[in-house]
A and B are shown apart, each in its own frame.
Chain A
Amino acid sequence: MSSVTILESGPLATIQDRGRAGQAALGIPASGACDRTSYALSNRLVGNRLGAGAIEVTVGGLVLHADTDLVIAITGAPCPGVPLNAPAQLKAGSVLRLGPPRTGLRTYVAIRGGIDVPPVLGSRSTDLLSGLGPAPLTAGQTVCVGRSYEPMPGVDLAPVADPLGGEVFVRVTPGPRRDWFTDAGWQSLITQTYQVSSNSNRVGVRLDGTPLDRARTGELASEGMAHGAIQIPPSGTPVIFLADHPVTGGYPVIAYVREADLDTCAQLRPGQSLRLTTG
């Protein structure tokens, strides 16, 4: 049986796959990898099947020991000290140490055969909001690697760009409760420069900025919300829902992030500048 042992977990390292979509009517969030493109690429580079479990590392810091000979691929936020966007051999006894990423927030480590923990409700993903799936990885833990894979893809290096540093632009479309805000409120949303808050997590990216003007007050009956919803709580500053977002919410959703820009949101780091645009 192949395995890795976690020597250090860093700030947060979890097992993720494609999540448990399709059960939202039971109050079960989708969860899954936050940056789905990077996650899928890491698996593809080692010939894993779609949906195999991989490790999502937040701001680096993961140190793992190869208990057996392994083939790995690391994608997403580029951590120094490890091979990126390419399959790599990891000999038994060697140690993989992920430094703090140059840009971006989340790095994906796929191992040929897939991380093998018992699935919960059809997924191996850790859902930090609902407490479903495996607990976050901790130092000293041994994680099994599965045996299910396809032929290697024959790719030496995937040509992908690193997550953006500096000011980032994300495209949005009006959401179901756009009319709960004044036109000035909407203009403020799509023209101001927000800062990513350190309170951000897998549930959502919280933004600091100038509060938005509401056109109507009062309470909204809780309603369904999807990945990329931009909810405006009473503070008036946005929260962009990521993978572990609740299936329903009680604050108005002014806008949604365009699907093509969702993974960009998953790579935003605290303090980074963000502009929401309608372009």
Chain B
Amino acid sequence: MRILPSGDRALLVELDDLDQVLAYYTALTTDPPTDVVDIVPAARTIMVTTAGSVDALSRILRSVTPTPGTRSTGDLVEIPVTYDGEDLQDVAELLGCTASELIHRHVTEDWTVAFCGFAPGFGYLTGSSSWDIPRRQSPRTKVPTGAVALAGEFSGVYPRESPGGWQLIGRTDVKIFDQERDPAALFHPGRRVRFVDADRG
């Protein structure tokens, strides 16, 4: 673990991999230190901003004991998906399987929201098995709201229409982000997600 400087009010904790990030994030959010404003996990790092001093924050961050094995302890949300994405066939071919085998793999996977970013409520979901899906060669200028997608080691759902380079495999009617709802974001770090094939009930 390295603690890197990030201005007068933040520090960046750098870890080896996503499992370490989730373990550290869980420990930190279970007992948030005084004065902490935001705790932002990402693929290899956690940014912590404070209203207090970074020296005090640094001492606290060094003393955190990560909570290992926390991938499977968050609450579970089910997302019904219609698997008719434009890239479904292409992704299946990349993986050397059929479209229905890909769908089966996607719905049987235990997904966890590792972190959010890109847009409000956009969660980067990681599975328990290893995924490695290349992004599209040229990003789409418009990905529709609710598009279910894959890229790299992640799956995700576009919370609103936006440009995007992920491979689209399906769509959901579930509102992933709704600014009128409390909480607005359905996906938060640590939450577990299961996709359900809507056409199969």
Contacts and interface: CB of A to CB of B under 8 A. Distances in A.
B4 A25 contact: no
A130 B10 contact: no
Contact of A256 (B8, B118, B121): B8
Contacts, number: 124
Interface string B16-56: 00000000000000000000011111111111010000000
Given A23-B38, A174-B5, 6 more contacts: A132-B179, A175-B4, A176-B14, A223-B42, A224-B6, A224-B42
Contact of A221 (B40, B44, B47): B44
B146 interface: no
Interface of B: 4-10, 12, 14, 37-47, 49, 115-123, 160, 179, 183-185, 187-189
A12 interface: no
B5 to A, nearest CB: 6
A205 to B, nearest CB: 15
B7 A229 contact: yes
Given A27-B118, A28-B185, A224-B45, A256 B5 contact: yes
Given A132-B179, A226-B49, A121 B8 contact: no
Contact of B117 (A22, A27, A174, A226): A27
Contact of A223 (B12, B160, B179): B12
Interface in A113-137: 120-121, 130-132
Interface residues of A, number: 37
13 contacts: A26-B116, A27-B119, A27-B121, A30-B38, A221-B43, A224-B6, A224-B38, A224-B41, A226-B7, A226-B47, A228-B8, A229-B6, A259-B9
A246 B49 CA distance: 15
Given A120-B179, A247-B40, A26 B7 contact: no
Nearest to A246: B117
A246 B189 CA distance: 17
A27 B37 contact: no
Given A25-B116, A27-B116, A27-B122, A248 B40 contact: yes
Given A28-B120, A176-B12, A257-B7, A21 B184 contact: no
Contacts of B40: 24-25, 224, 247-248
A175 B7 contact: yes
Interface string A245-262: 011100001001111000
Given A175-B5, A253-B6, A221 B42 contact: yes
B144 to A, nearest CB: 16
Contact of B121 (A24, A26, A175, A176): A26
Contact of A222 (B4, B49, B117, B185): B117
Select the residue from B160, B179, B187 with max chain A CB neighbours within 10 A.
Answer: B179
A28 B37 CA distance: 13
A29 B49 CA distance: 13
